[in-house]
Chains A and B, each alone.
Chain A
Amino acid sequence: MRPPRLFVEPGDEARLTSQARAVARGAVALAEERVTVAVVTLTLGGRACAVEASAVERAVARLGPTASVPQASGVARLIAWVDEQPVAVTDLAALAGLPPRSAAALARAPALLLATPAGTAAVAVEGPIELAEDRLELVAGQALEGLPGVRLAGRLEGGAALLAASWLAACAGGGPAP
């Protein structure tokens, strides 16, 4: 009997791994079609990257002034005002192991607002940011060149690395990365 076909969809690494194992066991067969996904494109240290658009609540072209808020842990967190609402800000460059940007640079940076387990939070990225559609090439466990700490959900046909949205949201929310 022919196994059910699996249409691979973008997701986090754990999901892709699970799907790959199911394919390896023969429980499912890989579909030949490749999935087209809507993404927000950005750059990270000059590398072309993207995040699934469905994971992004809102994108802003300029984050605006930030303020640092002291925490009981002794580590301050950055915040910015978006639509008159304060949101915690995470610098994607610093998260990826690149030199953290100054407050002035962050104020000029574009940002993505993501739904995190704790609520909405912002990730300051490098532009330009654009909404695009691209086809997903299946990858699992592939690292971003030179930035091993960055978790990928896959790679797009155009070459951009698809950042794992769940990893990004967990980091932005201040929780442990999945």
Chain B
Amino acid sequence: MSVDAATRSRLVGLFVAEAEEALRELGATHRRLADGSVGEDLRVFGRTAHGLKGAAAALGFRPLAHVIHRLEEVSLGLASSQGPAREERHGRLALALELLDQGVAHMAVAGLSSFPAGVTEAIARALEGGDEAGAAEGTVAGSRPAGTTPGPAEAPAPVPAPVPEGAAERLSVPAIDVDEALRLAASLARAVAQLQGSLAGVDGPLAGATQGLAARAERLESIIAGLRLLPAEVALTGLREEVEALASALGKQVVLSVEGREVRADRRTLQAARGTLRHLVRNSVDHGIETPAARRAAGKPPAGILSLRVSSAEGALQVTVADDGAGFDVAAAREALVRSGDDAARILAMPEAEVLARFAAEGGSTRRQVTEVSGRGLGLSAVAAMARNAGGTFSVRSEPGHGSAVTFALPLDVYSVEALVVWAGERTLGIPVQALERTVLLHARDQAVSGPTGRTLAAGESIVPLIGLAETLGLEADPGGERFALVLHGAEGAVALAVADIGAVMAVVPSPVPGAAGAGALVAGLARLADGTTLQVLDPRGLVVAARAAARRPRPHGQQPAPVQPADAAVMRPEQAPGRARRDVVLAEDSLATREVLRVLLEEQGFVVRLAADGEEALARIRERLPDVVVTDVNMPRRDGLSLTRAIRADPAMARLPVILLTSQDDQSSRTAGASAGADAYLVKSRFGAAVLATTLARIGVGPASGSEAGQPA
């Protein structure tokens, strides 16, 4: 097929959507066939598979078309087979459908342009077997050589489907079009912000029109982002039937309870979650929940409880699969780790949860480990890998004899990324906050230590290797030295990355760049900030691997890492200066990630920080005890920053309290609104950093240079 790249990408997107639909139909039909149905269900199965084969062939996925053709042949044999031969045939079909499902999900999640070759081969192997030759299985309706598309005369007769209520109000569009629309909307919002910046100081109708345009662009972006969200139900389709079928096959009784079907998440997140949670559910039914006899002997009711809970919190889709079965064999996992590792004493002292987590991370690395815990290790390691690969986290709890619970969390929205803006090697870089454990202000004489194995950083109770981000990326060292360290966790362990400066947390929509940035590369994607600066959003996993490798690299004699910049007067902690008392700040910010970064920045400058998630909560904190300064976001639920500022100014008890507005709106009208409300300073998030904060605090009389008890508005 000779089409341009954009068209092909669009066609592949359509194929994925069609394949997902076809596989849902094939799965449901196959379950009915497994229950003994033949007749119409067999014809539906063949027709659906045939359509999918044609779609695959049309896109040039010839090996895939070939295995789907084989799938049709194997299904046709169901009509004439009985007993164990029929069961064996069902087994092959079930495995092939599952692999097809995984392959399509992988295409969707990873944005692949073709069906994964390894999965095609696995499907071909899964369909092998039986004592029949393919040609002897009967004639596949409309069968043709792989790689050709069905002609109009051969196309299956369309089956009129009932029109669901409300269908006229819905549109089905390829996800790739929604992605493109969102990218354009984000781009439009950025362009409008630039326009507003250019028109700063201009009043009248033009300024009003631009402000209206900005509001509409923001609303448009929000609506399109919402279009990508689907209910979790999408990931749970057919699960109950699968559990029933598996339990029945294993002679077990299982009661499935599901919570959170209505939780909404990004389509790609749900696709990633779908495979992971099905894996966990199967594992629980197969290995966790005991047979009725074993449960009675253990004093439990004969039916096991399998609960699945879906929720969303802090930008992540969280899924917990719990059962009241036998639990994991922690002792066997611990023994396996002791045998395979070189830190036996530490492993023996580890809490059970940590043993399981480490086993999950390392499980499957040796065949012996997997066998010794009855196969559950393999399931855990696969789930841990799936969650990690999708940018998520994983945890496990187990109580022997009473059950286990496995929780994984995936980013709720894989399209936009909340990234901490940092500067290193004279580049503007973004670190996804999800991977960020903490930020540390580097002081020449305390946390960072140079030793025989390189620099290390004492971060909390851990000592982690410290390496410059610039050095990790092969960039020139920061001429001004490194003032902050970012502690990141990866599968290989933690690492601290030293950077020249840090800024605000921003939600950005990174674009991959073929050949330069994307999945598997050091830079996951690029975005543009409001001032046109290119933000390179780094891939945390690749970054941790590269940083740890760089930390282990021997340095040429005499070459030293970039010096840690001693804390200067502007950023020195107030308590370090003799006679200074720690100052109190109320910080109002509705974004958890931004709030945390600001908290660190303020605490590093010696403030006691009291947090508020919105203006209303901030007002309550202020009334509890008058702080030295209020730092507040503008756009917040319940009460925004401007309203908070006006409320402060209207109350004689706190009217003189310094207020700093911190916002992403960088236009004159917003500044004017801030000033009208009575704010003392107006800081823009894209240019925000420790030095800016320190300078501003000093300017309004609250900084460390001020000796007064409370600052006075400037």
Q: Are B526 and A79 in contact (CB under 8 A)?
A: yes
Minimum CB–CB distance for A146 against chain B, Å:
28
Is A120 within 8 A of B5, CB to CB? yes
The docked-state distance in angstroms from the alpha carbon of A120 to that of B516 is 11
* Complex-state Cα separation, A67 to B475, whole angstroms: 13
Chain B, range 466-493, C-beta contacts under 8 Å to A: 473-475
Stretch from B51-59, B271-279, B507-515, B641-649 forming part of the interface with A: B507-515
Q: Which residues of A contact B528 (CB under 8 A)?
A: 81, 84
CB within 8 Å for A70 and B5 given contacts A88-B515, A119-B514, A121-B515: no
In contact, B514 and A76 (Cβ under 8 angstroms): no
Which single residue of chain B is at the shortest CB-CB distance from A172?
B515
* B546 located at the interface, meaning its Cβ lies under 8 Å from any Cβ of chain A in the complex: yes
Q: How far apart sit A89 and B638, CA to CA, in the bound complex (Å)? A: 47
Q: Interface digits, A69-88 against B, CB 8 Å rule (1 contact, 0 not)? A: 11110101111010011111
Does A157 touch B at the CB level, under 8 Å? no
Q: Is B568 an interface residue (CB 8 A)?
A: no
Complex Cα distance, B513 from A154, in Å, reads: 31
The answer to whether A88 touches B511, judged by C-beta atoms less than 8 angstroms apart, is no
A116 touches B534 (CB 8 A): no
Contact B513–A86 (Cβ < 8 Å) = yes
A110 / chain B contacts, CB cutoff of 8 Å: none
Taking a contact as CB atoms under 8 Å apart, the answer to whether A173 and B474 are in contact is: no
Query: Looking across the interface, which residue of chain B has its beta carbon closest to that of A84?
Result: B187
Distance in Å: Cβ of B650 to nearest Cβ of chain A? 44
Let me know if A86 and B515 touch, CB within 8 A. no
B517 at interface by CB-CB < 8 Å: yes
* A118 and B511 form a contact (CB under 8 A): no
- Are B4 and A115 neighbours in the complex by a CB distance under 8 Å? yes
Does residue B536 face the partner (Cβ distance < 8 Å to A)? yes
Cα of A81 to Cα of B516 in the assembled complex, Å: 13
Q: Which residues of A contact B187 (CB under 8 A)?
A: 84
Determine the chain A residues whose CB is within 8 A of the CB of B6 once the complex forms. 120
Chain A residues whose CB sits within 8 angstroms of the CB of B473 once the complex forms: 70
Any chain B CB within 8 A of the CB of A130?
no
CB-nearest residue of chain A to B542: A72
Contact B522–A71 (Cβ < 8 Å) = yes
The residue of chain B having its C-beta at the shortest distance from the C-beta of A75 within the complex is B474
A74 touches B536 (CB 8 A): no
- Chain A CB within 10 Å, residue with most, of B5, B6, B190: B5
Q: B527-551 toward A: CB 8 Å interface, digit per residue (1/0)?
A: 0100000101000001000100000
Instruction: Tell me whether A119 and B534 are in contact (CB under 8 A).
Output: no
| Contact B523 A86, beta carbon cutoff 8 Å | no
Q: Are A69 and B513 in contact (CB under 8 A)?
A: yes
| Nearest-Cβ distance from residue A167 to partner chain B, whole angstroms | 16
**Counting CB contacts under 8 A, is B521 at the interface?**
yes
A45 at the interface (CB under 8 A from B): no
What's the least CB distance linking B546 to chain A, in Å?
7
Whether A70 and B514, one on each chain, are in contact in the complex, defined by CB atoms closer than 8 angstroms, is: no
A174 contacts B511, CB within 8 Å?
A: no
Interface residues of B in 539-593 (CB under 8 A from A): 542, 546
Partner of A88, one of B190, B475, B513: B513
**Residues of chain B lying within 8 A (CB to CB) of residue A174:** 515-516
Contact (Cβ within 8 A) A121 B514: yes
Q: How far is the CB of B11 from chain A (nearest CB, A)?
A: 14
Q: A70 and B523 in contact (CB under 8 A), knowing A86-B534, A115-B4?
A: yes
Is A88 a contact partner of B4 (Cβ separation < 8 A)?
no
Contacts of B542 in A (CB 8 A): 72
Residues in B with CB closer than 8 Å to A116 are: 5, 514-515
Question: Taking CB as reference atom, which chain B residue is nearest A71?
Answer: B522
Within the complex, the shortest CB–CB distance from A108 to chain B, in Å, comes to 17
Give B187's nearest chain A residue, CB to CB.
Answer: A84
A173 touches B517 (CB 8 A): no
Contact with B521, one of A71, A119, A172 (Cβ below 8 angstroms): A71
Cβ A71 vs Cβ B5 within 8 A: no
Q: Are B513 and A70 touching (Cβ within 8 A)?
A: no
- Among A74, A78, A84, A118, point to the contact of B514 (Cβ < 8 A): A118
Q: Which residues of B contact A88 (CB under 8 A)?
A: 513-516
* Known A84-B187, A120-B514: A72·B546 in contact at CB below 8 Å: yes
Identify A69's interface contact among B5, B536, B546, CB under 8 A: B536
**B516 contacts which chain A residues (CB < 8 A)?**
69, 71, 77-79, 86, 88, 174
B526 neighbours in A (Cβ, 8 Å): 67, 69, 79, 86
Residue of B183, B427, B526 with most chain A CB atoms under a 10 A cut-off: B526
Would A81 and B514 count as touching, CB distance under 8 A?
no
Question: Contact at B511–A86, with CB atoms within 8 Å?
Answer: yes
- Chain B residues with Cβ below 8 Å from A172 are 515
Q: How far is the CB of A119 from chain B (nearest CB, A)?
A: 3
Residues of A within 8 A of B536 (CB): 67, 69-70
The minimal Cβ–Cβ distance linking B28 to chain A, given in whole angstroms, is 36
Contact with B along A30-48 (1 / 0, CB 8 A): 0000000000000000000
For residue A118, which residues in chain B have a CB less than 8 angstroms away from its CB?
A: 514-515
* Segment 112-152 of A: residues with Cβ below 8 Å from B: 115-116, 118-121
C-alpha gap A119/B515 in the complex (Å): 8
Among A78, A79, A172, the one with the most B-chain Cβ atoms within 10 Å of its Cβ is A79
Contacts of A76 in B (CB 8 A): 474
CB distance from B497 to the nearest CB of A (A): 13
Decide if A79 touches B517 in the complex (CB within 8 Å).
yes
**What residue of chain B has the Cβ atom nearest to residue A76's Cβ?**
B474
A67-B536, A70-B474, A79-B526 as given contacts; A115 in contact with B5, CB under 8 Å: yes
> Which 4 residue pairs spanning A and B have beta carbons closest together?
A119-B514, A118-B514, A174-B515, A70-B473
Chain B interface residues (CB < 8 Å from chain A): 4-6, 183-184, 187, 190-191, 427, 473-475, 511, 513-517, 521-523, 526, 528, 534, 536, 542, 546
12 pairs of residues in contact across A and B, judged by CB atoms under 8 Å: A67-B427, A67-B526, A69-B516, A70-B536, A72-B521, A74-B474, A81-B528, A84-B183, A86-B517, A86-B526, A87-B513, A116-B514
Contacts A79-B517, A86-B534, A173-B514 aside, 20 further interface pairs with beta carbons under 8 A come to A57-B4, A67-B526, A67-B536, A69-B517, A69-B526, A70-B473, A70-B474, A71-B522, A77-B516, A79-B526, A79-B534, A84-B184, A84-B187, A86-B511, A86-B513, A86-B526, A115-B4, A120-B6, A172-B515, A173-B515
